[in-house]
């Protein structure tokens, strides 16, 4: 199946990903699965608990996490 969405990672995400991979490698397969779902469908399943971002002063308020 062809991807419908392109995921673009910001530099801070890349740093956080490397840290997560080093400290909690057991979480990486689930995270990669979520990336695959996002790139194919534009959403993740409810198990991932998607929610609207609403941090005061946050850059991504109103977007899904």
pLDDT tens for the 65 residues of the chain, in order: 455 888 888 888 899 999 999 999 999 999 998 888 888 888 777 777 777 778 777 777 777 66
- Helix, strand or coil, per DSSP, at residue 16: helix
Stated pTM of the model: 0.67
Beta-carbon-side half-sphere exposure of residue 18 (alpha carbons within 13 Å)? 6
- Helix, strand or coil, per DSSP, at residue 63: coil
Provide the residue count of the chain: 65
What does each C-alpha distance from 65 to 2, 22, 28 come to in angstroms? Answer: 23, 22, 17
């Amino acid at each position: 199946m062809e991807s419908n969405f392109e995921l673009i990672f910001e530099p801070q995400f890349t740093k956080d990903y490397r840290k997560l991979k080093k400290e909690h490698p057991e979480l990486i397969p689930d995270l990669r699965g979520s990336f695959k779902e996002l790139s194919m469908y534009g959403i993740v399943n409810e198990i991932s608990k998607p929610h609207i971002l609403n941090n005061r002063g946050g850059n991504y308020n109103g977007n899904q996490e």
